[in-house]
Amino acid sequence: MTLDPGLAAALRQDYTRACLSAQDRAMLDHAVKLTREPARITPEDLDSLRQVGFDDRGILQITLIASWFNYINRVAEGLGVGK
């Protein structure tokens, strides 16, 4: 969450090119991999999160939030919500 409209625009356009902390970048990289290739998550991916300061609780929160958004968006799309 940010009040910086420039950062918000950069995140919408391409988060990989936005000016982010290493921790924010790792978090978003993990959320993207969890969304696109969940079966390819490895212990090394979790270690990457730990290396930038996330503990197991933080990793759990990232995983739960990203997974919930993936789930609820698929439910809405499957029901034709907004169409």
- Give the pLDDT score at 49: 98
Alpha-carbon dihedral 36, 42, 43, 45, rounded to 10 degrees:
-40
> Residues 54, 56, 60, 63: is their CA dihedral positive or negative?
positive
Averaged pLDDT for residues 56-63: 98
- CATH class of the domain defined by 22-78: mainly alpha
The string of pLDDT tens digits covering residues 19-58 is: 999 999 999 999 999 999 999 999 999 999 999 999 999 9
CB 29 within 8 A of CB 62: no
Residue boundaries of the structural domains of the chain: 22-78
- Give the pLDDT score at 62: 98
pTM: predicted TM-score of the whole model, two decimal places: 0.85
% of the chain residues with pLDDT over 90: 86
